Amino acid sequence: MTIQPLIDHFESYLPFDENEKELLQGRVTHRSVKRRYFILQEGFTCKHYTFVVEGCFRMFAVDTKGNEHNIKFTIENDWISDIGSFHSDKPSKLYIEAIEPAVILQIEQQDLYFLYTHIPKLNQILRVIVEDKYVELQNRVLQNISSTALERYLAFQEQYPTLSRRLPNTQIASYLGITPEFLSKLRKDIASS
Protein backbone atom coordinates (compact mmCIF):
# COMPACT_ATOMS: atom_id res chain seq x y z
CA MET A 1 0.00 0.00 0.00
CA THR A 2 1.35 3.38 -0.95
CA ILE A 3 0.35 6.66 0.60
CA GLN A 4 2.39 8.65 -1.92
CA PRO A 5 -0.65 10.63 -3.17
CA LEU A 6 -1.20 11.85 0.40
CA ILE A 7 2.47 12.69 0.87
CA ASP A 8 2.44 14.58 -2.44
CA HIS A 9 -0.66 16.45 -1.27
CA PHE A 10 0.96 17.46 2.02
CA GLU A 11 4.21 18.36 0.29
CA SER A 12 2.34 20.80 -1.94
CA TYR A 13 2.21 22.84 1.28
CA LEU A 14 5.48 21.95 3.06
CA PRO A 15 8.20 19.33 2.43
CA PHE A 16 8.41 16.21 4.62
CA ASP A 17 11.62 14.42 5.58
CA GLU A 18 11.95 10.62 5.42
CA ASN A 19 11.23 10.17 9.13
CA GLU A 20 8.00 12.17 8.84
CA LYS A 21 6.95 10.11 5.80
CA GLU A 22 7.54 6.88 7.75
CA LEU A 23 5.52 8.18 10.72
CA LEU A 24 2.70 9.06 8.37
CA GLN A 25 2.86 5.67 6.62
CA GLY A 26 2.31 3.89 9.93
CA ARG A 27 -0.80 5.90 10.82
CA VAL A 28 -2.75 5.87 7.56
CA THR A 29 -5.21 3.18 6.45
CA HIS A 30 -5.72 2.37 2.76
CA ARG A 31 -9.19 1.24 1.61
CA SER A 32 -10.93 0.41 -1.64
CA VAL A 33 -14.61 1.32 -1.62
CA LYS A 34 -17.38 0.15 -3.93
CA ARG A 35 -19.87 2.50 -5.56
CA ARG A 36 -22.80 3.36 -3.24
CA TYR A 37 -20.82 2.31 -0.14
CA PHE A 38 -21.20 4.55 2.91
CA ILE A 39 -18.08 5.53 4.83
CA LEU A 40 -20.33 7.40 7.27
CA GLN A 41 -24.01 7.09 8.13
CA GLU A 42 -26.28 9.26 10.26
CA GLY A 43 -26.21 8.18 13.89
CA PHE A 44 -22.61 6.94 13.79
CA THR A 45 -19.57 8.90 14.94
CA CYS A 46 -17.14 10.02 12.24
CA LYS A 47 -13.88 8.26 13.10
CA HIS A 48 -11.65 9.34 10.19
CA TYR A 49 -10.32 12.18 8.13
CA THR A 50 -10.63 10.73 4.63
CA PHE A 51 -8.39 11.64 1.68
CA VAL A 52 -9.72 10.63 -1.74
CA VAL A 53 -7.09 9.08 -4.02
CA GLU A 54 -9.55 7.90 -6.70
CA GLY A 55 -13.29 8.31 -7.06
CA CYS A 56 -16.02 10.68 -6.01
CA PHE A 57 -17.98 11.04 -2.75
CA ARG A 58 -20.95 13.05 -1.67
CA MET A 59 -21.86 14.27 1.81
CA PHE A 60 -25.58 14.66 2.36
CA ALA A 61 -28.34 14.95 4.93
CA VAL A 62 -31.83 13.51 4.86
CA ASP A 63 -34.71 15.72 5.99
CA THR A 64 -37.80 14.61 7.93
CA LYS A 65 -39.65 13.90 4.65
CA GLY A 66 -36.88 11.57 3.46
CA ASN A 67 -35.45 14.00 0.90
CA GLU A 68 -31.68 13.95 0.40
CA HIS A 69 -29.78 17.25 0.35
CA ASN A 70 -26.24 17.16 -1.02
CA ILE A 71 -23.90 19.37 0.97
CA LYS A 72 -20.56 18.61 -0.61
CA PHE A 73 -18.80 16.59 -3.29
CA THR A 74 -15.22 15.42 -2.99
CA ILE A 75 -13.05 14.04 -5.76
CA GLU A 76 -9.43 13.06 -6.15
CA ASN A 77 -6.78 14.85 -4.10
CA ASP A 78 -9.23 16.28 -1.59
CA TRP A 79 -10.70 15.56 1.86
CA ILE A 80 -14.10 14.58 3.19
CA SER A 81 -15.16 14.17 6.81
CA ASP A 82 -17.85 15.27 9.23
CA ILE A 83 -15.44 17.41 11.22
CA GLY A 84 -18.05 18.27 13.87
CA SER A 85 -18.68 14.61 14.65
CA PHE A 86 -14.98 13.75 14.36
CA HIS A 87 -13.89 16.31 16.95
CA SER A 88 -16.89 16.12 19.30
CA ASP A 89 -17.14 12.32 19.24
CA LYS A 90 -20.92 12.76 18.80
CA PRO A 91 -23.13 10.92 16.32
CA SER A 92 -23.21 12.45 12.86
CA LYS A 93 -26.32 13.86 11.21
CA LEU A 94 -24.74 13.25 7.80
CA TYR A 95 -24.00 10.51 5.32
CA ILE A 96 -20.87 10.15 3.18
CA GLU A 97 -21.36 7.88 0.16
CA ALA A 98 -19.12 6.78 -2.71
CA ILE A 99 -20.70 7.86 -5.99
CA GLU A 100 -18.02 5.94 -7.90
CA PRO A 101 -15.71 3.07 -6.95
CA ALA A 102 -12.99 4.72 -4.90
CA VAL A 103 -9.61 4.41 -3.22
CA ILE A 104 -9.22 6.33 0.01
CA LEU A 105 -6.64 6.95 2.72
CA GLN A 106 -7.95 7.45 6.23
CA ILE A 107 -6.49 8.79 9.46
CA GLU A 108 -8.20 7.98 12.77
CA GLN A 109 -8.51 10.63 15.46
CA GLN A 110 -5.90 9.15 17.84
CA ASP A 111 -3.46 8.75 14.93
CA LEU A 112 -4.08 12.32 13.80
CA TYR A 113 -3.31 13.66 17.28
CA PHE A 114 -0.17 11.51 17.40
CA LEU A 115 0.91 12.93 14.05
CA TYR A 116 0.21 16.50 15.19
CA THR A 117 2.64 15.91 18.06
CA HIS A 118 5.33 14.20 16.01
CA ILE A 119 4.95 16.15 12.75
CA PRO A 120 4.07 19.70 13.88
CA LYS A 121 3.89 20.97 10.30
CA LEU A 122 0.99 18.57 9.69
CA ASN A 123 -1.08 20.51 12.21
CA GLN A 124 -0.31 23.68 10.26
CA ILE A 125 -1.11 22.07 6.89
CA LEU A 126 -4.43 20.62 8.02
CA ARG A 127 -5.40 23.89 9.68
CA VAL A 128 -4.94 25.67 6.33
CA ILE A 129 -6.96 22.94 4.57
CA VAL A 130 -9.81 23.19 7.12
CA GLU A 131 -9.78 27.00 6.89
CA ASP A 132 -10.03 26.76 3.08
CA LYS A 133 -12.99 24.38 3.45
CA TYR A 134 -14.62 26.79 5.91
CA VAL A 135 -14.33 29.63 3.37
CA GLU A 136 -15.80 27.28 0.73
CA LEU A 137 -18.74 26.53 3.04
CA GLN A 138 -19.30 30.24 3.78
CA ASN A 139 -19.40 30.98 0.06
CA ARG A 140 -21.88 28.15 -0.47
CA VAL A 141 -24.19 29.50 2.27
CA LEU A 142 -23.98 33.00 0.76
CA GLN A 143 -24.82 31.61 -2.68
CA ASN A 144 -27.81 29.72 -1.30
CA ILE A 145 -29.29 32.83 0.31
CA SER A 146 -28.44 35.45 -2.29
CA SER A 147 -27.90 33.85 -5.72
CA THR A 148 -30.24 32.71 -8.45
CA ALA A 149 -30.31 29.06 -9.51
CA LEU A 150 -28.36 30.01 -12.63
CA GLU A 151 -25.67 31.76 -10.56
CA ARG A 152 -25.44 28.73 -8.25
CA TYR A 153 -25.09 26.40 -11.23
CA LEU A 154 -22.35 28.53 -12.79
CA ALA A 155 -20.53 28.64 -9.43
CA PHE A 156 -20.88 24.84 -9.19
CA GLN A 157 -19.32 24.45 -12.64
CA GLU A 158 -16.46 26.74 -11.63
CA GLN A 159 -15.83 24.93 -8.34
CA TYR A 160 -16.27 21.40 -9.75
CA PRO A 161 -15.36 21.69 -13.46
CA THR A 162 -15.28 17.92 -14.13
CA LEU A 163 -18.25 16.84 -12.02
CA SER A 164 -20.93 17.78 -14.53
CA ARG A 165 -19.75 14.81 -16.60
CA ARG A 166 -19.37 12.46 -13.61
CA LEU A 167 -22.62 13.07 -11.74
CA PRO A 168 -26.24 12.44 -12.67
CA ASN A 169 -28.50 15.47 -12.88
CA THR A 170 -30.32 14.37 -9.73
CA GLN A 171 -27.13 14.73 -7.64
CA ILE A 172 -26.25 18.15 -9.05
CA ALA A 173 -29.84 19.39 -8.68
CA SER A 174 -29.90 18.26 -5.04
CA TYR A 175 -26.70 20.20 -4.38
CA LEU A 176 -28.15 23.32 -6.04
CA GLY A 177 -31.52 23.04 -4.29
CA ILE A 178 -33.50 22.73 -7.53
CA THR A 179 -35.31 19.96 -9.40
CA PRO A 180 -33.54 17.90 -12.09
CA GLU A 181 -36.07 19.26 -14.61
CA PHE A 182 -35.16 22.85 -13.76
CA LEU A 183 -31.46 21.96 -14.05
CA SER A 184 -32.11 20.61 -17.56
CA LYS A 185 -33.87 23.87 -18.44
CA LEU A 186 -30.91 25.90 -17.11
CA ARG A 187 -28.51 23.85 -19.21
CA LYS A 188 -30.65 24.34 -22.32
CA ASP A 189 -30.85 28.09 -21.70
CA ILE A 190 -27.05 28.29 -21.33
CA ALA A 191 -26.47 26.22 -24.48
CA SER A 192 -28.82 28.41 -26.54
CA SER A 193 -27.40 31.76 -25.37
Taking only the tens place, the pLDDT of each residue in 136-164 is: 889 889 988 999 999 999 999 988 888 88
Residues 64, 159, single domain; the answer is: no
Residue (of 122, 129, 34) closest to 81 by Cα position: 129
Q: Are residues 43 and 98 in the same domain?
A: yes
Q: What is the pTM of this model?
A: 0.91
Give 86-106 pLDDT, tens digit per residue: 999 999 999 999 999 999 999
| 118/27 same-domain check | yes
Q: pLDDT tens across 34-73, in order?
A: 999 999 999 999 999 999 999 999 999 999 999 999 999 9
Looking at residue 40, its amino acid is L
Q: Do 130 and 187 reside in the same domain of the chain?
A: no
156 and 81 in one domain? no
Question: Residue 37: which of 19, 50, 23, 22 has the closest Cα?
Answer: 50
Looking at the fold, whether 122 and 35 belong to one and the same domain comes out as yes
Instruction: Calculate the alpha carbon distances from 4 to 10, 13, 75, 81 in Å.
Output: 10, 15, 17, 20
